[in-house]
Amino acid sequence: MQGKVAIITGGARGIGEAIAKKLAAAGANLILWDVLEDAATETASRLAGEYGVKCKGVAVDVTDADAVENAVKAAVDEFGCVDVFVNNAGITRDGLLLRMKEEDWDLVLKINLKGTFLCTKAVGRFMCKARKGSIVNIASVVGIMGNAGQANYSASKAGVIGLTKTSAKEFASRGVRVNAVAPGYIRTAMTDKLSEEVRTTMLGFIPLGEFGSPDDVADAVAFLAGDASRYITGQVLKVDGGMVM
Ligand code: NDP
């Protein structure tokens, strides 16, 4: 990754920040997109200091097509190219399907799926012209197996998997690879909120017997982003302790 340029959406915190650290440690220069400018710039300047790479934080809402297009152009102008793009920004608005509000369905699909489409379109155009690049989409195992209470989220992540495979087929002849990472239960602020009872039940479904860490996801992303995976495209790599086989 030495000297390569990577953009990470939702890169200010959580799994996005762990991915940013992993790529920075491997020598990549970074551009972190997030909705809140302060969060993006604060994380970016911290990582630049810690890892000695160039790192910039930018306010970009992935659902805003113009903002996404302009931010890709600005990245190319300032950094010279984009080698790696990680579609990580995502949200949940959980609830049982029969009670799910239409606005919660729309918002989750808009950020998780349409946002991934808009970013893939904007950066894919540039990468195809450059005849190189690696796009990594963060899906979820619930996009494969479903999950009660997450109709909107699981549908959005299933959509991300379909989008990954189609864009991989469309971009392959231009030397651009597209893969997805599907995390299972990862220790984050989201899973820390679960009750002890729910956590114990969930652990029963995980053969390796523990929740994953943001670092586990970041390791898989770094592999798919870099040249070690040069012959891999259109794949969904599950990082779930063996939960879905
Ligand atoms: P976090 O909520 O910790 O981080 C997501 C980041 O995305 C936040 O910084 C958030 O900003 C940002 N974001 C939200 N909406 C937008 C938008 N419209 N444009 C740009 N950035 C946005 O989530 P996680 O780190 O837990 O999750 C990261 C990814 O991993 C998501 O795609 C999630 O679906 C996926 N995932 C997570 C799992 C887990 O166990 N945590 C399991 C499986 C998949 P802000 O905070 O300002 O809203």
List the chain domain ranges: 5-239
Q: Taking 80 as the threshold, does the pLDDT of residue 136 lie above it?
A: yes
Q: Which residue's CA lies nearest to atom 31 of ligand 1?
A: 90
**Exposed / middle / buried, residue 184 (Cβ in 10 Å: 0-12, 13-18, 19+):** buried
Which pLDDT value is given to residue 207?
97
Res 228 pLDDT > 80: yes
Mean pLDDT of the chain: 97
211 residue type, one letter: F
3 state SS of 94:
coil
Ligand 1 atom closest to the CA of 185, numbered from 1: 40
Single pTM value for the model = 0.98
Give the residue among 1, 5, 3 at the shortest CA–CA distance from 79.
5
**Atom number in ligand 1 closest to CA 61:** 19
Q: Is 15 in the pocket of ligand 1 (CB under 6 A)?
A: yes
How many CB atoms are closer than 10 A to CB 176?
24
Burial of 95 (0-12, 13-18, 19+ CB in 10 A): middle
* CATH number, span 5-239: 3.40.50.720
**Would you please indicate which residues are annotated as catalytic (active-site) residues?**
153
Model pLDDT, residue 190: 67
Is the minimum distance from the CB of 10 to ligand 1 under 6 angstroms?
yes
